[in-house]
Amino acid sequence: METTAFDLIVIGAGSTGENVADQAIHGGLSVAVVESDLVGGDCSYWACMPSKALIRPGEALRAARAVKGAAAAVTGSLDPAAVLQRRDSFTSGWDDSGQVEWLEGTGATLVRGTGRITGEREVTVETDDGPVVLIARHAVAVCTGTEPNIPDIEGLRDARPWTTKDVTSAQQVPGSLAILGGGVAACELASAFASLGSDVTLIARHTLLGTMEAFAGEAVARRLRARGVQVRTGAGATRVERSGGTVTLTLSDGELVEAAELLVATGRRPRTGGLGLDVLGLDADDYLTVDDTLRVEGHDWLYAVGDINGRALLTHQGKYQARAAGDVIAARAAGQPVEDDTWGRHAATADHGAVPQVVFTDPQVASVGLTGKAAGERGIAARTVEYDLAQVAGASLHADDYQGKACLVIDEGKGTVVGATFVGPDVAELLHAATIAVVGEVPLHRLWHAVPAYPTMSEVWLRLLEATGDDFRTARR
């Protein structure tokens, strides 16, 4: 059995694993990356990229229809075949050769196969040519992400439901689609497939987008309903049955929902199966708990980066952690100082209160940091100020009958922004300003000098600052 040593072994070549490797190589380490599926991972092939590609054409068309003078030029409707074809171009037809080229270009050694931790600093990979043992001189980074969580509902597994993997790679638009779930993936895909012509029924146990400010999920539900989607909140399925081309769901209230396909988007769980974590005395069914340098407690050579640690299940946040992790692994290997203080280069501090997220629904939802509720639960003297985006000139110029809302969550003690949410068409790019304000801990009295250009939608910042009140205009409180 072949045995090879590397400074670092990364298990999982999704965007997080790729970035851990790249960063560590940048820091002078030799790195092996183990991958059992496509290099590039879920984000490239079965999540962000195909999902956004399915969404964007409908969004662009709605935006043109929303402006008098342009609307008359839009006589046709979306071309589903062209949308799917465009989606295929973003997933490179599920061929990872481009990503492999990139990864090998960094200097990493790609090992195709399923990796398992078989001892301290030891990973055994089941390759097509048999097992290979990799020895890590310094560290092993687990970056295997998450997998769909299939709830325990009678008949569900036998009904061959779609997961997000199936729906984002679908080669046809089903005539009707039932979706179980009320989170980001469920809402985005409901919106996308409604645009593409499916009759969509969304079945959510609670409200939509429940971790965000309540007005976000409400706005999404309202628009989905206006576009003909059946939105059933506070509802669960108790039984599922497939008969030929039809899936029938029995809801908790006894109602029946029929659809050609059923998407299960009820959350994710850590992809820990077969990793051999039990060998290390770790719980193989749970997220791996790490410190701010992404190191697993009690195992100074083991890192868990990205979704697998459960800190923030988002591509960009995984990459952020990856930069810290790859860098700190290299620093520790070289005996260089570790900068793991708050906001230090080796600490994923933003995970705790500055995680941004854009939901590409209709309307879009963009949020960062804490909701008003979450801030209160942390004991922050928080106040939420809101403003109707429709009252902003930039928004009404952007689209007729623009509907949207923005809020800031203010830490009244510190006089800073600790959270922000924007809901409305095309608000995605408004978010980063809030992310910088939160992360930079820029005082409100300084933010008054950050003038939004007129007439953009960003002018809502001015209105939100006005809503915080005169007290926060001065440094002399």
Q: Does the protein bind a second copy through residue 334 (CB under 8 A)?
A: no
Closer CB to a second copy, 83 or 302, in the complex: 83
Token pair for 450: 């950050």
Given 28, 446, 469, 471, the residue binding a second copy (CB under 8 A): 446
Strands 176-180 and 146-148: unpaired
Nearer to a second copy, 295 or 346 (CB): 346
SS3 224: helix
Subset of 22-61 contacting a second copy (CB under 8 A): 43, 48-49, 52-53, 56-58, 60-61
Piece in contact with a second copy (CB under 8 A), picked from 99-107, 141-149, 153-161, 335-343: 335-343
Q: Which of residues 274-333 bind a second copy (CB under 8 A)?
A: 314-317, 319-320, 323, 327
CA atoms within 13 A on the CB side of 205: 10
Q: How far apart are CA 292 and CA 344, in angstroms?
A: 10
Please choose, from the candidates 431, 433, 365, the residue with its C-alpha nearest in 3D space to the C-alpha of residue 403: 365
d(CA 159, CA 352): 39
Rank residues 75 and 171 by Cβ distance to a second copy and give the closer one.
Answer: 75
Q: Which two tokens stand for residue 244?
A: 């030929």
Task: Name beta bridge partners: 118.
Answer: none
Return the number of other C-beta atoms located less than 10 Å from residue 269's C-beta. Answer: 16
Q: Does 453 participate in binding a second copy (rule CB under 8 A)?
A: yes
Which residues on adjacent β-strands are paired with residue 399? none
Nearer to a second copy, 117 or 358 (CB): 358
Whose Cβ is closer to a second copy: residue 356's or residue 419's? 356
| Min CB(6)–a second copy separation in Å | 23
Q: Which of 309, 421, 435, 468 binds a second copy (CB under 8 A)?
A: 435
When the beta carbons of 26 and 239 are compared against a second copy, the nearer one is: 26
Q: Which CB sits closer to a second copy, 34 or 433?
A: 433
Token readout for 71 is 């609307």
In the complex, minimum distance from the CB of residue 173 to a second copy, in angstroms, rounded to a whole number:
12
456-475 residues in contact with a second copy (CB under 8 A) are 456-459, 461-462, 473-475
In angstroms, the CA 222 to CA 439 distance is 32
- Segment contacting a second copy by CB under 8 A, of 124-132, 255-263, 288-296, 421-429: 421-429
Q: Count the residues of the shown chain that bind a second copy, applying the rule CB under 8 A.
A: 95
Scan residues 400-419 and list those touching a second copy (CB under 8 A).
400
Per CB under 8 A, 260 contacts a second copy: no
- Quick note: the x/- pattern for a second copy over 161-200, rule CB under 8 A, is ----------------------------------------
Q: Of the ranges 2-10, 80-88, 138-146, 405-413, which one interacts with a second copy (CB under 8 A)?
A: 80-88
C-alpha dist (Å) from residue 138 to 143, 217, 299, 463, 473: 16, 45, 12, 52, 51
Which is nearer to a second copy, 302 or 365 (by Cβ)?
A: 365
Q: Which of 77, 172, 246, 391 binds a second copy (CB under 8 A)?
A: 77
Does the footprint of a second copy cover residue 357 (CB under 8 A)?
Answer: yes
Residue from 160, 345, 378, 477 in contact with a second copy (CB under 8 A): 345
Bridge-partner residues for 32, per DSSP?
9, 109
User: Residue 282 contacts by C-beta under 8 Å, 6 or more apart in sequence?
Assistant: 288, 296
At residue 411, the 3 state secondary structure works out as strand
To a second copy, the closest distance from the beta carbon of 65 in angstroms equals 8
Tell me phi and psi for residue 298, to 5 degrees: 90, -5
CA-to-CA distance for 267 and 152, rounded, in angstroms?
A: 13
Are 199 and 175 contacting, i.e. CB atoms less than 8 angstroms apart?
yes
| Cβ atoms within 10 Å of 164's Cβ, excluding its own | 23
Binds a second copy (CB under 8 A): choice among 366, 380, 408, 423? 366
To 5 degrees, how large is the angle CA 24–CA 29–CA 34?
A: 70
- Of 301 and 402, nearer to a second copy (C-beta) is 402
Q: Does 349 bind a second copy (CB under 8 A)?
A: yes
Q: Does 248 bind a second copy (CB under 8 A)?
A: no
The neighbouring-strand residues paired with 409 are 384, 419
**Minimal distance, residue 75 CB to a second copy, in Å:** 5
The terminus-to-terminus CA distance of the chain in angstroms comes to 70
| 431 binds a second copy per the rule CB under 8 A | yes
What b/e sequence results for 311-328 when a residue is b if at least 16 CB atoms lie within 10 Å of its CB, and e otherwise? bbbbbebbbbbbbbbbbb
Binding mask 119-158 vs a second copy (x if CB under 8 A, - otherwise)?
----------------------------------------
Q: How far apart are CA 259 and CA 266, in angstroms?
A: 18
Stretch that binds a second copy, among 209-217, 226-234, 287-295, 429-437 (CB under 8 A): 429-437
| Other Cβ atoms within 10 Å of 119 Cβ, number | 12
φ/ψ region of 313 (left if φ > 0, alpha if ψ in -120 to 50, else beta) reads: beta
